[in-house]
Chain A
């Protein structure tokens, strides 16, 4: 009887520790997504990756294997977000991604690369970026 009771206490303590660990993970996960990975930030500012018209990252110059993997990873995550938001708004993924591309290009800072409507890569200056006429 006593040992049974002790086991119950132990189990609930374990469960509590488990929940605490899970809660910590949930708290940490969004925090890590709150800012750019240092490698991504460096790739952006050095112009190894740039914002494309279609809402994804592209390569103004031939990328290293590591840069390609980094951009592919982000583009997959972007597509997942686009898909979810497109569905919520009754739009296609391409339409939503293009709209996000308009915004992402507008938000580039001087020195970063972006794709002009003609497909050429441009370096952002303090002047407004060259964007598709359909962008708001």
Chain B
């Protein structure tokens, strides 16, 4: 009987510790945007701009 009381006590303490140490994780309220083009540098985009413009002009069927 003494032993079960001990066990119960330990379980209670353990439960209290678990509750205190609980970390709550909330879902962000904003959508997560994954930037896939992060590696594209502005200088490269500038360098390719004229050629890309011509490509669009030369392929009007697909642009």
Contact = CB atoms under 8 A, between A and B. Distances in A.
B49 interface: yes
A123 B59 CA distance: 23
A86 to B, nearest CB: 8
Contacts, number: 80
Interface string B50-63: 01110110011111
A100 B44 CA distance: 12
Nearest to A134: B42
The contact size tier of chain B is: 20 to 34
B5 interface: no
Chain A CB within 10 A, most for which of B42, B47, B61: B61
B24 to A, nearest CB: 29
Interface of A: 32-37, 53-54, 74, 77-78, 81-82, 85, 88-89, 91, 94-96, 98-100, 102-104, 107, 118-119, 132-136
A118 B62 CA distance: 25
